[in-house]
Amino acid sequence: MTDAGSSRTPSKDLAALARVHGVDTSYTTWDGRCVPVPAATLTDVLAALDVNAGTPELVRAALEEARRARARRLLPPCVVTRPDRPATLEADDAAQVWIDLEDGSRYELTRTAPGSRTLPSSTPPGYHTVHLRHGGAVATAPLISAPGGTAPLPDRTWGFTVQLYSALSGRSWGMGDLADLAELAGWSGRCLDAGFVLVNPLHTMLPAATSGHSPYWPSSRRYPDPVHVRVEAVPEFPHLRGADRLRADELVKAGEDLRERVLTDGALIDRDAVWAAKRQALALIHRVRRGPGRQAAYERFTRQEGQRLLDFATYRALAERHGADWRQWPAPLRDSRGAAVERAGRELRDEVEFHRWLAWVTDEQMQATQREARNAGMSVGIVHDLAVGAHPGGADTWMYRDFFAPGVTVGAPPDAFTAQGQDWQQPPWRPDRLAEAGYAPFAEMLRGVMRHAGAVRMDHVLGLFRLWWVPEGRPLSEGAYVRYDHEAMLAVLALEAHRAGVHVIGEDLGTVEDGVRDQLVERGVLGTSVLWLEKDADGRPHAAERWRTACLATLTTHDLPSTAARLTGSDLALRHRMGMLKGPLEQERRAAADEIGLWREELRRTGLDLPGPQDGAAPAPPDAETLHAYLARTPARLLGVWLPDTVGDLRAQNLPGTLDEHPNWQHVIADGDGRPVSLEQLAAGPGARRLTRALRDAVTAGRPLTPRSSGPVPRPPSENGRGTR
């Protein structure tokens, strides 16, 4: 690391240089304090953007060059327009300005005012190119013409939220798969009138031994992982013959054994073992000759995906030979566009072809799952989750290497929930490179996730505006916020969602800058509200009628305790065993009881019946059914039910702040006694119907239920609300 001076306080020139490149020189903490960014942090962050600020002289030279470059520039790096906000370009009256539209046609811009050109509001949505000729100079820039917003908001509805791997049926191979997801959607849509199922990211993962088990730390967000494929549902599976048939039967038995270990013996989910069995079975199926219609469908898929699919398949083939983390490969293979990779691709052509086929098979089953959800009457269908970033050694960073900043990681500064801050161990997009490319990599990623979705949930949607960059080797508190062109990012999001016909839900928990949520709602992006986080600065609950309408409202998330765990206090006992509590266990229990007491008051205000004291004992806490009934009394457009809550599951799918100390992302859904519950058992039991009754009634009525009593109403949530990612 370098430093432009010995002082922690940046010089005036260094601060100016940072601002030119979109790096904030201070930030406001969750409790309102303004904290300056150390000079060393600014220097390191600028280095990740290829700006050398190692000495005062270099800082002055870089600042002067940045100012000269801006003065010479005829067009901005990327132009964005939308119907209610057309773009205006600075252009001399003698300049010629024209647009090459996405469809190949051309549009000349006439002068609208002295020294300017305004893009017409009739510019069709799409990715175009704008040109400006002045004298002998010609400038070109990407032009993103966005629609007014994403797909129109759905009618009020409810649905289950679930980590798919945890929802095993009696037919899956040791972890939930896409056929299980289709069954869950078909059952909840037809029998419970659910409108959606929200699942964890299904992105392609690295082996767990390399990357842990987190679906939020994927190898690639561009393609889903074939580990989610139901092997027996591949159309060529029944046509296996001879030795391949016998071997496939052995692998089916191995999959059954993995399932029984989880559902009967209570073992943890072993994704690597599941994939080892499925990969062998899928390799056998790949050898089966496809019929002409199937072959035509496959060829069409590979044509549509083009070079990016070839790159992805090449990475997968190389990873099987050299290890999952490309940073450890032989140096010539680290360049995805290098001659060595081209040669290796030819040598591994069979393996590359196999991985292209796997991507197609997975895509087909993703499509079938969404089709089943809509056939079941769901108004939205499958809501796919989009992780905020990718593994630094995975496929995305290999394929899009130039678009990721080296030497820094994304995270969050210290807040009320994480005193040390958060390190997500993911490299950030470079905002300058994205703009130069017209945000094509971002658009490609969105296109892949939205392809077979009814909606997409964007993890940490605030990252469209800014991300907390932490240089390697520095404390998490010594990071800096780097700005993104949110107008461009939102334009791409709106355009891709509009074309795919999907809704967008943004996970907007945490410290939120003023106006950000307004801009998201303006584009049709729903927010996220979690009951236990809906409170004011004094810790009092927000009134039900003051919750946001444009949001997904839930009781919990994958990063928070289940409802049963919170109400029984078992979450505190777990964190106490892990040494994660801020104070003594009894003190934390009293604080939790006080919090539940405040929620009891709010629940009673809305007219919900609660258990009273028994023989002088303290009142029992509200149960999960009562709390879900309360959700129905909010105006939230989407209402989510954590599927494990329907059987009283006490276990945490993820305990933030732990790695090996807790088996994160490996638990099957279980009842309150820790007994695994299959998808069939869950559907046959009474818990799901009981827990969702009030939500179904509210959706049928088309509006939130009116509280029976009219007590004082707390003021609405602050735009600077706090939460956890």
Q: What is the pLDDT of residue 618?
A: 65
What share of the chain has pLDDT > 70, as a percent?
A: 94
Q: What is the pLDDT of residue 421?
A: 84
Among 37, 71, 67, 39, which Cα is nearest to 53's?
Answer: 39
Regions of the chain where pLDDT drops below 70: 1-7, 112, 417, 612-618, 702-725
Among 416, 387, 419, 390, which Cα is nearest to 403's?
Answer: 390
Q: At what angle do helices 339-347 and 349-375 cross, to 10 degrees?
A: 80
Q: What is the pLDDT of residue 614?
A: 59
DSSP string, 295-324: HHHHHHHHHHHHHHHHHHHHHHHHHHHH-S
Q: What is the pLDDT of residue 660?
A: 82
Q: Pairing relation of β-strands 106-109 and 157-162?
A: unpaired
SS3 of residue 475 by DSSP:
coil
> Which pairs count as long-range contacts for 667-675, CB under 8 Å and 24+ apart, including other chains?
667/166, 667/268, 667/269, 668/166, 668/168, 668/262, 668/263, 668/269, 669/162, 669/166, 669/167, 669/168, 669/643, 669/644, 670/266, 670/644, 671/647, 672/564, 672/647, 672/648, 674/266, 674/650, 675/266
Q: What is the pLDDT of residue 111?
A: 72
Element (DSSP H or E) covering residue 525: strand 525-530
Q: What is the distance between the alpha carbons of residues 209 and 212, in angstroms, rounded to a whole number? A: 6
What residue has token string 């009881």? 593
Q: What is the pLDDT of residue 345?
A: 96
What residue has token string 């009696």? 170
Q: What is the pLDDT of residue 610?
A: 75
Q: What is the distance between the alpha carbons of residues 481 and 54, in angstroms, rounded to a whole number? A: 20
Q: What is the distance between the alpha carbons of residues 214 and 666, in angstroms, rounded to a whole number? A: 9
Distances (CA, A) of 205 to 123, 225, 324: 39, 6, 10
Q: What is the pLDDT of residue 710?
A: 34
Instruction: Output the pTM of the full model.
Output: 0.93
Q: State CA 348 to chain mean position distance.
A: 32
Q: What is the distance between the alpha carbons of residues 700 and 715, in angstroms, rounded to a whole number? A: 29
Radius of gyration of the chain (CA): 27
The residues with which 640 forms a beta bridge, in sequence order, are 159
Dihedral through CA 589, CA 590, CA 595, CA 597, nearest 10?
120
Q: At what angle do helices 440-450 and 486-500 cross, to 10 degrees?
A: 30
Yes or no: say if 691 and 646 are a contact pair by the CB < 8 Å rule: yes
Q: What angle do CA 386, 392, 397 make, to 5 degrees?
A: 75
* pLDDT tens-digit map of 50-107: 999 999 999 999 999 999 998 888 899 999 999 888 888 888 878 889 999 999 999 8
Q: What is the distance between the alpha carbons of residues 580 and 715, in angstroms, rounded to a whole number? A: 33
* pLDDT tens-digit map of 364-402: 999 999 999 999 999 999 999 999 999 999 999 999 999
Q: What is the distance between the alpha carbons of residues 73 and 612, in angstroms, rounded to a whole number? A: 71
| Contact partners, residue 267, CB within 8 Å, separation at least 6 | 261
Q: Pairing relation of β-strands 137-145 and 79-81?
A: parallel
Element (DSSP H or E) covering residue 505: strand 503-506
List b or e across 320-344, with b for residues whose CB sees 16 or more CB atoms inside 10 angstroms.
Answer: eeeebbbeebeeebeebeeeebeeb
Q: What is the pLDDT of residue 716?
A: 32
CB atoms within 10 A of CB 72: 9
Q: What is the pLDDT of residue 150?
A: 82
Q: What is the distance between the alpha carbons of residues 690 and 625, in angstroms, rounded to a whole number? A: 7
